[in-house]
C-alpha cells in the first residue's frame, strides 16, 4: 500500500507542477495582451489617476489641459467660437470612445509612463503624490490655427502651413472642426459620426483624398526638368486644347506660345499634358515618389499616403491627365504642402513634425525634436526654375489672388474637376499651394476648399491671409 500512496503523492504533486507551468505561461505568454486588453479596466483606471500633461502651442497657449478635481481630472480643450480649431491634430481622449490624434500618439508621454519616467513614478508612489504626465509643446500656432479655420468659414476644406526649413507644421486645420469638450455626450458623438456629408471627425489635412488639379504641376514640372524632356526655354503652341490618343482635352484657355515658366504661371494643361506624355509613366511616378506623394511622412497622426492610377489603368490619356492633376490621382493637402516645401527648400523636404518639445511639469526639457531631412526631391537648380514659374503665377498669372504687398510670393493654383456621371454639375475643388517670401521662404501653405470653385478666386486669398499671418506672427 505504501507504493500506492507514493504513486498517488507523485501524481498530486505533479498536477501542482502543471499549475506552476500554466501560471508561468499565462504571465509570460498572455500577460501583455491581457494587461492591455481594451476590456481590462486597469489601464484606464491607472490613467485616470494620473494628471495628464498639458498640450501647448508654440507660443505657450494651452490647447488641452487637465483640470484636476480631487480624485479625477477633466480634460479641457481650447475653444474659439464653440469649436476647437486644432481638434483634428490634438484629437481627444475619452474613457468611452478611446483617443485620437496627438492625445493618442503621445499618450505615454502625456501620462508620464515612458521608461524615462520610471524613477519619477516610483517616487510619486512612495511619496503618495498624484503623478503628473509630461507636457507637449507643439509647432502649431494657436492664433494661426483659428485664423485659418475662420478663413475656411463654413466651407469644407483644409489648410496646412509649415516651415520649409525645418519641417515644423505651423498650422493644420480641417473644416468643419468640432468641440472636443462635448464629445463625452453620446448624442454629440453619434451626431458627429453620422454626419457623413461633412465628416467632421475626419482630418482632411492629412487623410483627405483629393484630385490635386494643377497644383501637381510643380511635381510634374520637376520631372520634366530632371529628365530633360525639353529645355525650359522651349516653347510650344497652346491652341486651347490638346488631343491625346484621339481624346480632346480642353484647356482653361488659349495660351498661345508657352515655355516652362509661363506654363506654370498660366497653368497651361496643354503644355503639361504633352510634356507629361513625353516623360512617360515610369519617370512621372518616379518623380511623384521622390516628392513623397505616395509615402507616409510618419507625422504621428494618421496620414493617408497618395494614390495614383492603378497599373491596369495606366494608358496614355490617363498619363496626360495625371500630369496636370486629374485622372485617378488622390492626394492629401499635407502631401501637397510637403511637395511645395521641396521647391521652397532647394529640393529637400524636411521631415514634418508637430511636437516641438516634451517637457516635465517643472519645465525641464525631456526631448526636443530635431529637424531632419526627409527626402531629396529635386536639385536646387530645378527648384529655382519652378520657383520662377510660381512667382510668375502670383505676379501676373493665375495666382494673383495670393500676392502680398512688399513680399514676393510664389504659388500655384489648382482647380480640380470633381464632375462625374453621378454628379455632372459638381463644383471643382479649389487648391492653392505656395510659399513666401519667395527668395527666402519661411512658410509654405497648402489650401483646399472642397467643391469651392476656382483655385484663383477661392483658395488663393485664403493662402494669402494665412501666409501674411504666419509671417507677421514671427
Q: Output 32 or 195, the one with its CB closest to other proteins.
A: 32
Q: Provide the minimum distance between the beta carbon of 122 and other proteins in the complex, in angstroms, as a whole number.
A: 11
Q: Which residues pair with 433 in a beta bridge?
A: 412, 446
Q: Output 8 or 123, the one with its CB closest to other proteins.
A: 8
Note whether 294 and 288 are within 8 A (CB). yes
Note whether 360 and 132 are within 8 A (CB). no
Q: Provide the minimum distance between the beta carbon of 42 and other proteins in the complex, in angstroms, as a whole number.
A: 5
Q: Provide the minimum distance between the beta carbon of 97 and other proteins in the complex, in angstroms, as a whole number.
A: 18
The dihedral over CA atoms of 20, 22, 26, 29, expressed in degrees to the nearest 10, equals 110
Q: Which residues pair with 416 in a beta bridge?
A: 429
DSSP summary character for residue 129: P
- The phi, psi pair for 195, rounded to 5°, reads -75, 80
Note whether 265 and 456 are within 8 A (CB). no
Q: Output 31 or 380, the one with its CB closest to other proteins.
A: 31
Cell of 264: 506654370
Give the DSSP H/E element, type plus range, for residue 143.
helix 142-152
Q: Provide the minimum distance between the beta carbon of 4 and other proteins in the complex, in angstroms, as a whole number.
A: 4
Q: Output 40 or 59, the one with its CB closest to other proteins.
A: 40
Q: Output 1 or 310, the one with its CB closest to other proteins.
A: 1
Q: Output 4 or 69, the one with its CB closest to other proteins.
A: 4
Per-position DSSP letters for 364-406, written without gaps between them: -EEEEPPP-EEEE-S-HHHHHHHHHHHHHHHHHSTTGGG-BTT
Q: Which residues pair with 258 in a beta bridge?
A: 236
Q: Output 72 or 254, the one with its CB closest to other proteins.
A: 72
Q: Provide the minimum distance between the beta carbon of 465 and other proteins in the complex, in angstroms, as a whole number.
A: 52
Q: Which residues bind other proteins (CB under 8 A)?
A: 1-9, 12-13, 15-16, 18-20, 22-24, 26-27, 30-35, 37, 39-42, 45, 125, 128
d(CA 65, CA 53): 7
> CA angle 174-178-184, nearest 5°?
140
Q: Output 7 or 67, the one with its CB closest to other proteins.
A: 7
d(CA 157, CA 447): 8
Cell of 50: 494620473
**Cell 480631487, located at residue:** 70
Q: Output 71 or 364, the one with its CB closest to other proteins.
A: 71
Q: Output 25 or 396, the one with its CB closest to other proteins.
A: 25
Q: Provide the minimum distance between the beta carbon of 125 and other proteins in the complex, in angstroms, as a whole number.
A: 8
Q: Provide the minimum distance between the beta carbon of 69 and other proteins in the complex, in angstroms, as a whole number.
A: 17
Cell of 3: 507504493
Note whether 223 and 286 are within 8 A (CB). yes
Q: Provide the minimum distance between the beta carbon of 39 and other proteins in the complex, in angstroms, as a whole number.
A: 6
> CA angle 439-215-217, nearest 5°?
85
Cell of 46: 491607472
Q: Provide the minimum distance between the beta carbon of 44 and other proteins in the complex, in angstroms, as a whole number.
A: 10
Cell of 240: 486651347
Note whether 170 and 141 are within 8 A (CB). yes
Q: Provide the minimum distance between the beta carbon of 67 and other proteins in the complex, in angstroms, as a whole number.
A: 22
Q: Provide the minimum distance between the beta carbon of 184 and other proteins in the complex, in angstroms, as a whole number.
A: 21
Q: Output 1 or 311, the one with its CB closest to other proteins.
A: 1
Note whether 145 and 175 are within 8 A (CB). no
Amino acid at each position: 500500500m505504501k507504493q500506492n500512496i507514493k504513486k498517488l503523492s507523485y501524481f498530486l504533486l505533479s498536477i501542482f507542477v502543471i499549475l506552476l507551468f500554466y501560471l508561468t505561461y499565462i504571465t509570460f505568454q498572455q500577460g501583455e495582451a491581457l494587461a492591455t486588453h481594451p476590456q481590462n479596466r486597469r489601464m484606464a483606471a491607472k490613467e485616470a489617476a494620473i494628471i495628464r500633461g498639458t498640450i501647448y502651442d508654440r507660443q505657450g497657449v494651452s490647447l488641452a489641459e487637465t483640470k484636476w478635481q480631487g480624485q479625477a481630472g477633466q480634460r479641457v480643450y481650447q475653444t474659439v467660437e464653440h469649436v476647437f480649431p486644432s481638434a483634428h491634430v490634438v484629437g481627444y481622449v475619452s474613457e468611452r470612445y478611446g483617443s485620437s490624434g496627438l492625445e493618442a500618439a503621445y499618450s505615454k508621454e502625456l501620462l508620464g509612463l515612458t521608461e524615462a519616467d520610471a524613477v519619477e513614478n516610483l517616487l510619486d508612489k512612495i511619496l503618495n503624490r498624484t503623478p503628473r504626465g509630461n507636457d507637449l509643446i507643439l509647432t502649431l500656432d494657436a492664433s494661426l490655427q483659428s485664423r485659418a479655420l475662420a478663413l475656411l468659414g463654413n466651407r469644407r476644406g483644409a489648410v496646412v502651413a509649415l516651415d520649409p526649413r525645418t519641417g515644423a507644421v505651423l498650422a493644420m486645420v480641417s473644416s468643419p472642426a468640432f468641440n472636443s469638450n462635448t464629445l463625452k455626450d453620446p448624442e454629440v458623438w453619434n451626431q458627429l459620426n453620422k454626419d457623413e456629408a461633412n465628416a467632421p471627425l475626419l482630418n482632411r489635412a492629412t487623410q483627405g483624398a483629393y484630385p490635386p488639379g494643377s497644383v501637381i504641376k510643380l511635381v510634374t514640372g520637376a520631372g520634366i526638368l530632371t529628365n530633360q524632356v525639353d529645355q525650359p526655354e522651349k516653347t510650344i503652341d497652346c491652341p486651347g486644347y490638346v488631343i491625346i490618343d484621339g481624346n480632346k482635352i480642353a484647356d482653361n484657355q488659349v495660351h498661345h506660345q508657352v515655355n516652362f515658366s509661363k506654363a506654370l504661371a498660366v497653368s497651361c494643361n496643354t503644355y503639361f499634358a504633352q510634356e507629361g506624355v513625353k516623360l512617360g509613366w515610369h519617370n512621372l511616378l518616379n518623380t511623384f515618389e521622390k516628392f513623397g506623394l505616395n509615402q507616409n511622412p510618419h507625422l504621428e497622426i494618421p496620414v493617408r499616403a497618395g494614390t495614383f492610377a492603378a497599373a491596369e489603368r495606366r494608358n496614355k490619356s490617363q498619363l496626360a491627365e495625371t500630369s496636370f492633376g486629374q485622372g485617378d490621382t488622390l492626394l492629401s493637402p499635407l502631401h501637397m504642402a510637403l511637395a511645395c516645401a521641396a521647391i521652397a527648400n532647394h529640393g529637400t523636404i524636411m521631415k514634418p513634425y508637430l511636437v516641438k518639445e516634451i517637457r516635465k511639469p517643472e519645465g525641464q526639457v525631456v526631448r526636443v525634436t530635431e529637424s531632419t531631412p526627409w527626402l531629396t526631391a529635386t536639385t536646387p537648380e530645378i527648384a529655382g526654375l519652378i520657383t520662377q514659374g510660381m512667382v510668375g503665377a502670383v505676379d501676373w498669372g493665375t495666382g494673383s489672388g495670393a500676392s502680398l504687398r512688399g513680399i514676393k510670393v510664389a504659388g500655384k493654383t489648382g482647380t480640380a474637376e470633381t464632375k462625374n456621371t453621378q454628379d455632372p454639375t459638381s463644383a471643382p475643388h479649389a487648391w492653392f499651394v505656395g510659399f513666401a517670401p519667395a527668395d527666402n521662404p519661411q512658410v509654405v501653405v497648402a489650401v483646399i476648399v472642397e467643391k469651392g470653385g476656382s483655385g484663383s478666386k477661392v483658395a488663393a486669398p485664403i493662402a494669402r491671409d494665412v501666409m501674411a499671418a504666419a509671417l507677421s506672427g514671427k
